[in-house]
Amino acid sequence: MRRGIATVCLSGTLEDKLAAAAAAGFDGVEIFENDLVVSPASPAEVRRRCADLGLSIDLYQPFRDFEAVPPPVFEANLRRAERKFDVMEQLGTDTMLVCSSVSPDAVDDDDLAAAQLHELGERAARRGMRIAYEALAWGRFVDTYDHSWRIVRRADHPAVGLCLDSFHVLSRGSDLSLIRTIPGAKIFFLQLADAPRLHMDVLQWSRHHRLFPGQGAFDLTAFVGHVLATGYAGPLSLEVFNDVFRQADPHRAAVDAMRSLLGLAESLGEPAIAAPELTGHAFTELSVDETTGPQLAAALSAMGFACTGEHRSKPVQLWTQGDARVLLNATGGPAEISALAVASADPVRSARRAESFHAPVLPREHRADEADLSAVAAPDGTAVFFCRDGWLSDFTPTGAVGVTSAGAGLRGTDHVSLTQPFDNFDEAALFYRTVLGLQPDLPTEFAAPFGLIRSRAVTNPANTVRIALNVALLRRGEWAPGVPDPQHIAFTSDDVLASAKAMRAAGAPLLEIPANYYDDLDARLAPPPDLLAALREYSVLYDRDEHGEFLHFYTEVLGSRVFLEVVQRIGGYRGYGAANAPVRMAAHRRLRLARRSG
């Protein structure tokens, strides 16, 4: 299948967009009219540029408000079309997208619409071109694909066919089965977009919130399956209007877009390197410097971790407790999560899959006797390692008890939470979905003291790998008094209260939770008085969903933006304690202020 992208998906001038689409490996583009209009390159020059870049021009779009109009308007519209055919001729493209009319000039008359489209088809055919008619979901009279198909049939012209756009079809909740009744040869073009489920005006939904396939809630696999079953053999072409993508680096967005089509192709049964099973979090690496290194080491120690290994060739310490493992990498820089490692049933294949999904492979230096860990860069720059147990032998045991000691009762890693760069939140969810084969949850939103936060977790089926992705709903400005871009690692305990008690006794820098929280918790969820008293005493937070309970506590911020969490899931609790996050954020902010003034 050929892969295309509409220039409107990407930010920048036409020149920026074409370069980005070609670099990401697209076969063709749809030229969005406005992108051409603002360009100093003539259509003939654009044609040559595309040829040089190896891009076909698959569609010229959009041509609006054409059909079902009174004769004088029809004459003017034909003139307008001929001018655009002139442009298309120079561009060397043969298909024009005609959207169903939203004009007040239009009348509700399918016969007239069909007759006028027939005439347009006649004009197009004379020039070796064709018309792809599309029902906009907010078209004045034609707003469903089946209606547009009735009109195309009635137009009865070989140069008049359909354009199907997944957004327009799926946003209307249309019955998809009728698609299979359309002859594939009459589907002239296929545009793809995903979207979150939103309850809003469909025009606004379409113009602002479309996403690349796999980032939203639509079942693109089913939709495209129906279309391919007709024998459609044209390109799968993305047409995504998205406020963020419109102003983000087009080179990154184009790679994200290509990854979405690779994921879609896999879901449609195209051969791909299958994602090996991931079995858990192997380790999380923190980069530390002279100040934060000792701070993290002291905190881990007080939390029951032991430094059980020193890397053979690098300034990296391994800290362990049960199956919870943290590397402190003294490469300098403030404390931040520089890498997360997932245990893979087949690390080599995981890495090959990642590469096939255009994940940037990170260069690695290792000695001949050390494990060759493959790593790719996630959208936020975090290194993602695929490993099995072999990597542990790169560390010289210190002799410290750790792996076998009880410590403070930590068993392993529950999740890693990473704030994403604003432009890359949807890209990140798709990255983890395609590259690692994880499943994104539905995105959620909550009000934090300094603005709204979007959150979306990606998990494996066994829930042994959990990565929580967070981003401010709006890019932060100057008033940003919270912890900047916080990151944390959450460890599991089977008895979070006992863990908290042990860690407090050992002097761990645990976060104090205010009394108001417990008064509110009592009012809201009324936990048993003994439990409430214990939660209050140890500054442990509590949440509940229909599946189970969640007890958790936090450390203070260590360095500028990293902290640690200990969690206990009772029953099948699925969340991450989002209801309690604002309490944590306000507490972290207070400490920050106190330290600045202290």
Is residue 496 within 8 A of residue 566, CB to CB? The reply is yes
C-alpha torsion 69→70→74→75, nearest 10: -170
The answer to whether residue 583 forms part of the interface with its own copies (CB under 8 A) is: yes
> According to the annotation, is 270 in a ligand binding site?
no
State the alpha helices, DSSP H only, in 240-368. 250-267, 292-302, 347-356
Stretch that binds its own copies, among 152-160, 198-206, 267-275, 427-435 (CB under 8 A): 198-206
> According to the annotation, is 168 in a ligand binding site?
no
> According to the annotation, is 239 in a ligand binding site?
yes
According to CB under 8 A, which one of 422, 536, 549, 592 is a site residue for its own copies? Answer: 422
447-476: contacts with its own copies (CB under 8 A): 447, 449-452, 472-476
203-262: contacts with its own copies (CB under 8 A): 204, 208, 243-244, 246-250
User: Shortest gap between Cβ of 316 and its own copies (angstroms)?
Assistant: 31
158-187: contacts with its own copies (CB under 8 A): none
CA nearest to 407, candidates 487, 476, 326: 326
Instruction: Considering the complex, state which of residue 93 and residue 317 has its C-beta at the smaller distance from its own copies.
Output: 93
Stretch that binds its own copies, among 9-17, 188-196, 330-338, 387-395 (CB under 8 A): 9-17
Stretch that binds its own copies, among 124-132, 294-302, 392-400, 510-518 (CB under 8 A): 510-518
Instruction: Considering the complex, state which of residue 138 and residue 232 has its C-beta at the smaller distance from its own copies.
Output: 138
> According to the annotation, is 199 in a ligand binding site?
no
According to CB under 8 A, which one of 389, 478, 530, 546 is a site residue for its own copies? Answer: 478
Instruction: Considering the complex, state which of residue 381 and residue 514 has its C-beta at the smaller distance from its own copies.
Output: 514
Stretch that binds its own copies, among 142-150, 288-296, 484-492, 517-525 (CB under 8 A): 517-525
30-89: contacts with its own copies (CB under 8 A): 33-43, 76, 79-80, 83-84, 86-87
> According to the annotation, is 355 in a ligand binding site?
no
User: Shortest gap between Cβ of 343 and its own copies (angstroms)?
Assistant: 34
Which residues contact residue 340 at a Cβ distance below 8 angstroms, ignoring those fewer than 6 apart? 281, 283, 284, 285, 382, 383, 384, 385, 416, 467
Determine which helix (DSSP H) or strand (DSSP E) holds 597, and give its type and residue range. Answer: helix 581-597
DSSP letter string, 60-99: EEEE-S-SS--HHHHHHHHHHHHHHHHHHHHHT--EEEEE
Separation of alpha carbons 2 and 490, rounded Å: 43
Is residue 288 within 8 A of residue 559, CB to CB? The reply is yes
User: Shortest gap between Cβ of 13 and its own copies (angstroms)?
Assistant: 5
Separation of alpha carbons 167 and 205, rounded Å: 10
Instruction: Considering the complex, state which of residue 390 and residue 514 has its C-beta at the smaller distance from its own copies.
Output: 514
The answer to whether residue 522 forms part of the interface with its own copies (CB under 8 A) is: yes
Instruction: Considering the complex, state which of residue 111 and residue 520 has its C-beta at the smaller distance from its own copies.
Output: 520
Separation of alpha carbons 445 and 4, rounded Å: 33
> According to the annotation, is 116 in a ligand binding site?
no
Is residue 492 within 8 A of residue 412, CB to CB? The reply is yes
86-105: contacts with its own copies (CB under 8 A): 86-87
> According to the annotation, is 427 in a ligand binding site?
no
284-323: contacts with its own copies (CB under 8 A): none
Separation of alpha carbons 28 and 199, rounded Å: 33
DSSP letter string, 523-577: HHH---HHHHHHHHHHT-EEEE-SSEEEEEEEBPPBTTTEEEEEEEEEET--S--
Is residue 100 within 8 A of residue 141, CB to CB? The reply is yes
Instruction: Considering the complex, state which of residue 147 and residue 446 has its C-beta at the smaller distance from its own copies.
Output: 446
Phi, psi of 447 (to 5 degrees): -90, 120
Q: Starting at the edge strand that comes first in sequence, how are the strands of the sheet with 324-329 ordered?
A: 374-377, 383-387, 336-344, 278-287, 324-329, 316-321, 306-311, 395-397
User: Shortest gap between Cβ of 282 and its own copies (angstroms)?
Assistant: 32
The alpha carbon of 588 is separated from its chain's Cα centroid by a whole number of angstroms, namely: 28
Give the count of residues interacting with its own copies (CB under 8 A).
71
Q: Which residues are annotated as a binding site for Mg(2+)?
A: 415, 488, 565
Q: Which residues are annotated as a binding site for a divalent metal cation?
A: 134, 165, 191, 239
